[in-house]
Chains A and B, each alone.
Chain A
Amino acid sequence: MVNLTLIIALPLLMAFTMPIFKMLNSKLPKFIALLTTAFNLIVLSSNFTEIMAAPLILELGGWQAPFAINLYVGPLALVAAFLINGSAFILSIYNLSQDYQFDDKFYLLFLMITAGASGMVMTGDLFNLFVFIEITSIAAYSLTTFAGGSSYEASFKYLIIGGVGSVFLLLGIGFTYSAVGSLNLAEIAASAGLINPLLLQITALLFLIGIGIEAELFPLNFWVPDIYTEAPTAVSGIMSGAVSAAGIYALARIFFTLFPAQQFFNYLLVIGVITLIMGELIAYQQENIKRMLAYSSLAQMGLIVTVISLGTEAAVKAGLFQLINHSILKVLLFISAGVLISAAGSKKIKDLAGLGTKKPTAAFGFTIAAMGILGVPFLNGFISKFMIISSSLNADQFLITFLILAAALIEIAYYLKVVQKLYFEDLEIEVKNTAVITVPVILLTLLIIGLGVYPQLIAEPLEKAAAEILNNSRYIMTVLGGI
């Protein structure tokens, strides 16, 4: 087993030494990024059994929590970290055949966003959560602009919204500190019951807004479509696959571990459903494929939040499975769409007609990912859809179930439009040379089918992660120990 701190430390180290690597060899940065993310995955895997047995607490500086900063890596954090570093790894493979201007800076930021998101899910105290969110966001602002053109505008919008979000978050942290006198998550969770209810409510709402922006909840999510559309494909992919997963993690941590109250679950449920329905309805109208994927991402985030906030064990498991699927599928969708876009030289869906035969790998990737999202049997989305419907019916939420299924229907409608365009229509166009994505498509397809046929593969981490979400006293106990 390797020290888990490296997951955050190594990308940061590599990020800031990137200009030196660039000086050594101009090809080096992309390989460094690939190796770093691969290393992170190995570190995570080597710690897998240990974390499954008991959560790992890493106390920095040798002081015991709550007096020192600590990292907390339980099953939930492990799942999230796998998603984040896995997405980053796949996208690094994609990046190998991609040429960015100022590529040292690009990979510097790319590793920073990976480290930031990993930090978000591993940190054990509130202030570091804030710091990592800032690192992630700042990296995201700048990464977006690598596409040039109108991406500056998108980035600027995100910057402003992100700034507003930080204010809320910081206020929330300040209120919490003033009430509890500590920023350690376990410490706060342990004494949350002692806080004045009104203050608690205001604080929780401040967090809801602050984190809601990262978790892409309505109506805080309108920066998302612009970012996903304008940013380079790899950035859209990492935002959708990794950063949003970290956002969901933070949301779960704050509302299930820190301030568990039915009232906030109800808020999240309503907000989640609205996000879902609006996202799907707007996605259906889009003519730009990346914008369509962006709204679809929003909707998926809404779905995940809805399901998790049902609060039963089955529901949380279903939501987490959907989160895993979302990361896998959206990364595949974004890189395939990226290739299709550069092949056709246009982001318009109607200009992609006939690329099924001209760009078979990318079209296949897009199709299988779309079918995964739509829940075709033997693909991963089928299992999570089944679990979602089952758990929401079990919680007696008929209306919610109905709305989820209605949203799924709209989803079918717009994804199939693209799939049909790809294969069964034709357009006389000159196909441009594009990135080669055979390896990521094969890897992700194997994952999609593997999880669809043998979902037991992730049953244990999912089970334990759900238990961790639902049982905050265990979290407190493990961190604080006897104190």
Chain B
Amino acid sequence: MLTKYIFVPAAAAFAAYILNKKNKKAGATITALVSAYLLLSLALIYGSWELNQSFNLSLMGYQLEFLMALTPLSWLFAVLTSAISLLIAVFSIDSQADFKFSSVFNLNFLLVIGSIMGVLFARDFLTLFIFWELMTWTSFYLISSGKKKMAGRAAYRYLILSAAAAYSFLMAVIFIFQQTGSFAFEPAAEFLLNNSAPQSILLLLAISLPFWVKAGIFPLHVWVKDAHGNAPKEFSPFLSGMLLKVGFYGLIVVFHQLSFFKIIENTIAYRGLPLLSYLFALLGAVTIITGTILAIRQEDMKKLIAYSSISQMGYIIIGIAIATPLGFSGSMLHLMNHLIFKSTIFLALAAVIYRTGTTKMYEVGGLIFRMPLTFAAYLTAIIALAGIPPTNGFISKWVIYQALIEKGYLFLALAAFFGSIASFMYVFKPLSTVFLGQLKPQHQEIKEVPLLMKIPMLILIGVIVLFGVFPGIQMNIISQISGDLGIETVNYSLYSIQGAFGAWNSLYIFNVFAAGFVIALLVFGLAKKSKLVGLLDTYSSGEYVTDAESYHYAYQYYRPFDRLFDNLAAKSLTGFYETLTANLLKSGESFRRIFAAGRVQNYALYSVLLFVILAAVGWII
């Protein structure tokens, strides 16, 4: 029964909404329980890839078939969805006390979970479209319920972009439906393979458009920053961790299951890669660079991490686009790892926001003394994000580099390296400004977050290190996915992966790092203790400071670097889109002024004119 994964969250959503009105902890508790239930029952059906379900419906003269099935790919995404929502729900049991839209939040959150399940299990376009739309709509309300004034505008932009893409999807699948008489994937794939290649490519591009938007790939990334930055703090981890990834799920379906890659196989190629695939990888490279540069410039911690998400999405799309065994495995690894460390980061920041109430980095500082666990979670996560062993982020990036170098894609590899090195810069900024440095006078009394918020962070820290040492756990399911999609599998064991130029043995590296850590600890323990002085005194020399913020080094942290890219960043893509649409929509005003100016004589005249014009047209024809 695959439908239960949709209906249980959906039914629970309304229960959560009603109960949450009575008690603000009820909604998140229900969400946690439902997610745990989903996770458990997904674990039980692991491996039963023959599970499927279908309904026939005759609707207004259309014979429709709704198909659902379990594939390794959808199983993985479903597990990720329920796992991350479990952690977030546990985290948010305590954090929603002061949240005005708490009930609406839990209602929509559960609906998002249910609709993602629908998207994942769908084996026909109509089911996919229905749940995709529901997912978009419910997440629209989630983003809208953010506290800041910009939240509405961000959600609005997100929805319009998604809706435009969804319509292109709808048009393409209905076109295919006219030809094949079915919405199911298999006949569609068959039809597309036998159809003329240019038309098939065009149709598949139209179908993939909503997935590109959701994945936040350049030049459709414009919604990501504001949506992440302004969404409620509990939803940002899910938005960045999971919702973006559903876009990749869709892209993999289009590329492999709808045989996009087979269709373009014989087109013009560059280094053995069809030009269109290379173009996608190139978009990935541009996404990495854009995201990285914009992340470095950000002053708002959530927006900074949002840009970092964009740039990490670039890595994933590169691997998926080149579609070599290593590339695909690397992408899937990175997809999972990004989900893990990005949620950790957002949860850590949510913890900071929960205690301080601000997202501006120069308004906080020195929180390491007050929130050590949060600091530890953030630190582990950014080490993973920057791709430093022995964390999971290193392994996935390593596999992607291997894939790129193996085929000699120099520019792509350069972009990937650039993104990796520069990510040090942007992740270090929140670390040093939020957690290190001086503790603000107004934050002297801050405490670490409550236990229920600590648990998810602790689990995530553990998972980061676990997957950093034993990537074989992830490779197990990934190899099944590769097998299912017809991609060769990569050799791996529990703690090593075979690359193009040798194997990566994470256990060995972990031991080295562990030894280094022990030695450092010893040195620290044996050395003379440093003397603690008042934090402000280090730069005010004991003078009385009234406004600590203006002295904060966090403000315009990387100014020299920013100057390099000032010109580039000023050419904002968002601004370009907005002016374009604004001008387009303004034409409505001119229409109104010309035609509907309020003079009734004119209105009467129009009817005569219409008559004359149509009569003339009829005469000529």
The chain A residues found within 8 Å of chain B, CB to CB, are 156-157, 160-161, 164-165, 168, 201-202, 205-206, 208-209, 212-213, 219-220, 222-223, 225-226, 263, 267, 278, 280-285, 313-314, 317, 321, 371, 375-378, 382-383, 386-387, 389-390, 393-394, 401-402, 405, 408-410, 412-413, 416-417, 420, 423-425, 455-456, 459, 462-463
A219-B610, A282-B588, A282-B591 known; A424 vs B604 contact (CB < 8 Å): no
User: Contact: A284 with B585, CB < 8 Å?
Assistant: yes
Residues 586-613 of chain B, each 1 if its beta carbon lies under 8 Å from chain A, else 0? 1111011001101010111011111100
Given the known A-B contacts A205-B615, A281-B588, are A390 and B607 also in contact in the complex, defined by CB atoms under 8 Å?
no
B592 touches A390 (CB 8 A): no
Cβ-defined contact, A424 with B145, below 8 A: yes
CB-CB under 8 A from A267, the residues of chain B are 614, 617
| CB 8 Å contact bits of B50-82 with A (1 = contact, 0 = none) | 000000001111100000000000000000000
List B contacts of A375 (CB < 8 A): 133
Measured in the bound complex, the distance between the Cα atoms of B598 and A72 in whole Å is: 39
Interface pair B60/A317, CB less than 8 Å apart: yes
- Given A317-B61, A420-B152, decide whether A409 and B160 contact each other with a Cβ distance below 8 A: yes
A226 to B596, CA, bound (A): 10
Q: Which of A161, A205, A220 contacts B618 (CB 8 A)?
A: A205
In the assembled complex, the CB of A259 is this many whole angstroms from the nearest CB of chain B, namely 12
With A371-B137, A383-B59 as contacts: A408 and B167 at CB distance below 8 Å: yes
Contacts of B177 in A (CB 8 A): 390
A390 and B174 contacting across the interface, CB-CB below 8 Å: yes
B293 CB, nearest partner CB in chain A, Å: 30
Indicate which residue in B134, B603, B609 contacts A376 across the interface (CB closer than 8 Å).
B134
Given the interface pairs A157-B600, A161-B603, A205-B614, the reply to whether A412 lies near B621 with Cβ below 8 Å is no
A202 to B140, CA, bound (A): 51
Is the Cβ of B615 less than 8 Å from the Cβ of A314?
A: no
A405 to B160 Cα, complex, angstroms: 12
A and B contact pairs by CB, cutoff 8 A, 12 listed: A160-B600, A209-B610, A212-B607, A284-B588, A285-B588, A314-B61, A378-B130, A387-B60, A410-B585, A413-B160, A423-B144, A459-B61
Please indicate the chain B residues that have their CB under 8 angstroms from the CB of A386 in the complex: 170, 174
0/1 string, B84-124, CB within 8 A of A gives 1: 00000000000000000100100000000000000000000
Interface string of B129-159 (1 = CB under 8 A from A): 1110110010010001100000110011001
CA distance A398 to B166 in the complex (A): 17
Q: Which 4 A-B pairs have the closest CB atoms?
A: A281-B588, A219-B606, A405-B167, A377-B130
- Return chain A residues, CB-CB under 8 Å to B608: 164
Chain B residues near A314 (CB-CB < 8 A): 61
**SS class of chain B's interface: helix, strand, loop or mixed?**
helix
With an 8 A cutoff between CB atoms, is B175 at the interface? yes
Within 8 Å of chain A (Cβ to Cβ): is B194? no
Residues of chain B within 8 A (CB-CB) of A168 are 607, 611
Q: Is B164 close to A, CB under 8 A? A: yes
CB closest residue in chain B, given A462: B60
Number of interface residues of B (CB under 8 A): 56
A284 to B603, CA, bound (A): 22
Contact B621 A263 (CB under 8 A): yes
Q: Contact check: which of A225, A412, A462 meets B159 at CB < 8 Å? A: A412
Determine how close the nearest CB of chain B comes to the CB of A232; give it in whole angstroms. 21
A220 and B61 contacting across the interface, CB-CB below 8 Å: no
How far is A326 from B461 in the complex, measured between Cα atoms in Å?
Answer: 53
**B129 — which chain A residues lie within 8 A by C-beta?**
377
Asked whether A424 lies within 8 Å of B152 as measured between CB atoms, the reply is yes
Chain A residues with Cβ below 8 Å from B140 are: 416
A401 to B167, CA, bound (A): 10
List the A side residues contacting B131 at CB < 8 Å: 377
Whether A157 lies near B156 (C-beta < 8 A) is no
**Complex contacts, A281 vs chain B, CB 8 Å:** 585, 587-588, 591
- Contact partners of B589 in chain A: CB under 8 A: 282, 285
Q: Per a CB cutoff under 8 Å, which of B59, B144, B163, B595 touches A420?
A: B144
With the chains together, A281 CA to B588 CA distance in Å?
Answer: 4
Q: Could you tell me which residues of chain B, from 159 to 187, have a CB within 8 Å of some CB in chain A?
A: 159-160, 163-164, 167, 170-171, 174-175, 177-178
B104 — nearest CB in chain A belongs to which residue? A423
Question: Nearest residue in B to A219 (C-beta to C-beta)?
Answer: B606
Supposing A282-B588, A424-B151 touch, asked if A157 and B603 sit within 8 A by C-beta, the answer is yes
CB of A83, distance to nearest CB on chain B (Å): 18
Q: Which of B144, B164, B595, B596 neighbours the largest number of chain A CB atoms within 10 Å of its CB? A: B596
B610 & A220 in contact (Cβ 8 Å cutoff): yes
Contacts of B163 in A (CB 8 A): 408-409, 412
- Note all chain A residues with C-beta closer than 8 A to B60: 317, 321, 383, 387, 455-456, 459, 462
Candidate in B178, B598, B603 with the most chain A CB atoms within 10 angstroms: B603
Taking the closest CB of chain A, its distance from the CB of B519, in whole angstroms, is 54
A463 touches B610 (CB 8 A): no
Interchain CB contact under 8 A, A222 and B596: yes
Given A282-B591, A412-B159, A222:B164 Cβ within 8 A: no
Residue of B140, B589, B614 ringed by the most chain A CB atoms within 10 A: B614
User: Given A201-B615, A405-B167, does the pair A285, B59 have CB atoms closer than 8 Å?
Assistant: no
Closest to B126 in A: A386
Besides A212-B607, A377-B131, A405-B171, 7 more A-B contacts (Cβ < 8 Å) are A161-B603, A164-B608, A201-B615, A285-B592, A317-B61, A423-B104, A459-B61
Q: Is the CB of A225 within 8 A of B156?
A: no
Verify A393–B156 contact, CB threshold 8 A: no
Q: How far is the CA of A402 from the CA of B133 in the complex (A)?
A: 19
On whether the beta carbons of A165 and B585 are closer than 8 Å, the reply is: no
What residues on B are CB-neighbors of A377 within 8 Å? Answer: 129-131, 133-134
Complex Cα gap A456–B60 (Å): 7
Expressed in whole angstroms, the Cα–Cα distance for A160 and B611 within the complex equals 17
User: Could you tell me the distance in whole angstroms from the C-beta of B99 to the nearest C-beta in chain A?
Assistant: 13
With a cutoff of 8 Å between Cβ atoms, the chain A residues found around residue B62 in the complex are 387, 390
B318 CB, nearest partner CB in chain A, Å: 31
CA distance A321 to B62 in the complex (A): 14
Bound-complex Cα distance A251 to B157 (A): 39
Question: Chain A residues with Cβ under 8 A from B58's Cβ?
Answer: 456
Bound state CA distance, A313 and B585, in angstroms? 34
Which chain A residues border B598 with CB–CB below 8 Å?
226
Residues of A within 8 A of B61 (CB): 313-314, 317, 459, 463
Chain B residue at smallest Cβ distance from A167: B607
Task: Tell me whether A219 and B595 are in contact in the complex, defined as CB-CB below 8 angstroms, given that A282-B588, A376-B134, A463-B61 are known contacts.
Answer: yes
Chain A residue nearest to B592 (CB atoms) is A282
* Contact pick for B606, options A220, A280, A394, CB 8 Å: A220
Tell me, in angstroms, the Cα distance from A217 to B321 when the chains sit together.
49
Minimum CB distance partner of B143 in chain A? A424
**Smallest CB–CB gap between B516 and chain A, Å?**
50
For the complex, give the distance between the alpha carbons of A165 and B171 in Å.
38
Closest Cβ neighbor of A163 among chain B residues: B604
Contact A376 B133 (CB under 8 A): yes
A208 to B607 Cα, complex, angstroms: 10
Instruction: Give A425 to B163 CA distance when docked, in angstroms.
Output: 23
Find chain A residues with CB under 8 A from B151 CB. 424
Residues of A near B175 (CB, < 8 A) are: 393
- Known A-B contacts A222-B595, A417-B156; A389 and B600 likewise in contact (beta carbons under 8 Å): no
Q: Which of A223, A283, A317 makes the CB contact (< 8 A) with B603? A: A223
A145 to B530 CA separation, bound complex (whole angstroms): 85
CA distance A58 to B204 in the complex (A): 55
Bound Cα distance A377, B177 (Å)? 19
Complex CA distance for A226 and B60, rounded to whole angstroms: 37
Q: Are A209 and B59 in contact (CB under 8 A)?
A: no
CA distance A222 to B175 in the complex (A): 36
B156/A165 in contact, CB under 8 A? no
Cα A226 to Cα B104 with chains together (Å): 37
Q: Which of A205, A225, A463 contacts B611 (CB 8 A)?
A: A205
Question: Closest CB of chain B to A292's CB: distance in Å?
Answer: 11
Chain B residues whose CB sits within 8 angstroms of the CB of A408 once the complex forms: 163, 167
Q: How far is the CA of A405 from the CA of B587 in the complex (A)?
A: 18
Known: A165-B607, A219-B606. A402 touches B171 (CB 8 A): yes
